Every structure is written in structure tokens, then in C-alpha cells.
Amino acid sequence: MFEYDVRAPLDVEELSAPQDRGGVTVHDVAYASPRGGKVTAYLVEPEGNGPFAGVLFLHPGQWDRSSFLDEAVAFARIGAVTMSVDGPNKRPCGFAPRYPRTAEGYRARWTHMIVDLRRSLDLLVSRLDVDPDRIGYVGHSYGATLGGVLAGIEERVHAYVLMAGLASHSEWWRVSESESARRFRARRTGTELDALVETMAAIDAIHFIGKAAPAKLLFQFAHHDAVISERNALQYWQAASEPKEIRWYDTDHFFDERARQERLAWLGERLGLSAA
């Protein structure tokens, strides 16, 4: 389901001129996706020759790679090569297939993104300045839900921060009382919803997050999250393998500066970053 040709060329290209961000360099890049088109990402390089840690970021569903750019820069400043990637539906026209809003289309787009995350790790660990034994992942909402799947199939990531993710996205679509879930159901017939839930259930993170060990896991959840309920949060946390940690914040779905600083410190410590 998530296999691809690891020998295929990455075909990396720069889409615009690099930018200096206070001692680190931001590259606007694209590279070949095994499922078609190209992945767009911000690649952020520290000064020096390394060896550096590597950190991969995936955004919430309603945002894109820019949502994690400042954080990617912050990690680069303490000694990590970082990548903040776009989901398939956030890329420019022609950079990814446009999937239909059917059960099969949703499944194809989600598996496409998991494969692209694996391909992004290929790019990180192929760099001579990146230590392949110090790789981290940060995902928010959509990025945290897919991160749980990645954790069960990838051995190259050593620590994950999963912010406001779901163990069972298919169940959330069916029963969540959040406004976004209700809108989602309202746009579909009962038959369409049943087909979507049945098709997507096999790739819910709950089937994978229990296999993340020996990777370390930090879950971040918010007390006032209108999207992820406390029940959703605890289901994800309980399904996960050890070692794991859960932290709660007095915020909404989008967290705050305290949460950002804590994941910077937590992941920095586990990856041996200079100012963790």
C-alpha cells in the first residue's frame, strides 16, 4: 500500500532563489513523487557542515507548508536540516494528481501523502550533512494523523511530535459532533459516507501507531479544541506504543507559543540539538 521505488531519482529542483533567514537558508524546492507529479517543500539549511539532525513537518489540512516555516527555521538555528512539505491538494496545478471526492479518491490522496513523506525522508537522509540516526517528525492535525501511520511503517524516524491528531479519521467523519465533521457529513449521502468510512478505515492511524516503537512519541492536545475531543485525544494516546508522553494546553486547535517552545525543547533534546 505504501511501497514505492526507492531507487528512482529524486529530481530535486529549486523553484525560486534561496532566502537568508538570520543565518539559515530557506530553499523553495520540488522533487519527484512516486505517485505522480512533484512534492513542494521548504528545505531549510543551517550554517556549517554538520552533521545535523533532520526534521520533517506536515501541516494541518486547511493550511500548507508555510504554516511550519517559522518553526522549521527555529529548528535549523539549533542544528537541524528541516523540511516543511505540502500535501497533494496544496501543490500548484500539475504538481500532483487531482483526486475525485470519492472514497477511492480520498484513499488514493492519503496514501499518496504517506508515500511522499517517505520520499521526503529519502531526501533528508541522502544528504551528507544529515545524521540518519537523528531524524524527527512534527505533524499538526492532518499532519499528526498521517504521522501516526508513518510511525508504524518507517524505521528512520526516531521521535515524533503529534499535535491534535486522530487515531481514527474514518470514525471521526461518522460520529464527531464538531462543526467541520457535521459539514462534511451534510455534503454526502448516507451511502457515500458509508463507502468513505469503509474505504478509509484500513489506513486509520490506530492500526499503525501501536507499532511506532522504538520511536519516542509526544502527543500535544488542547483543552478547547473544537475539532478533536478529549475522547479522540485519549483514543490516540492509548493506542500508541511506548515510550510516549501526552501534554495538554489551555488553547484551541491551533495551540500557542508555550506548545511550540515545548516541542522545540522536547524534540531538540531527543535529537541532540545544540540549544535544546
Nearest-CA neighbor of 228 among 174, 194, 180? 180
Question: What's the pLDDT at 101?
Answer: 85
Distance between CA atoms of 67 and 72, rounded to whole angstroms?
Answer: 10
Count of domains forming the chain: 1
> Domain for residue 23, yes or no?
no
Environment class of 22 (CB within 10 Å of its CB; exposed 0-12, middle 13-18, buried 19+): exposed
pTM: 0.97
Residue 237 belongs to domain spanning: 49-63+96-270
* Domain membership flag for residue 197: yes
User: The domain that contains 201 carries what CATH number?
Assistant: 3.40.50.1820
Give 216's DSSP letter: E
Residue 185 forms part of a structural domain: yes
Does 34 map to a domain?
A: no
Q: Specify if 54 maps to a domain.
A: yes
Q: Give the confidence band of 275 by pLDDT, cuts at 50, 70, 90.
A: low
- Residue with C-alpha cell 493550511? 63
Residue 235 inside a domain? The answer is yes
Say if 116 falls within a structural domain: yes
Taking only the tens place, the pLDDT of each residue in 57-99 is 999 999 999 999 999 999 999 999 999 999 999 999 899 988 9
pLDDT digits (tens, 9 = 90+) for 221-272: 999 999 999 999 999 999 999 999 999 999 999 999 999 999 999 999 999 9
Beta strands in 117-239 (DSSP E): 130-140, 159-163, 216-222
Whether 84 is in a domain gets the answer: no
**Span 143-155, average pLDDT:** 98
Give the tens place of pLDDT for each residue, 52-65.
Answer: 999 999 999 999 99
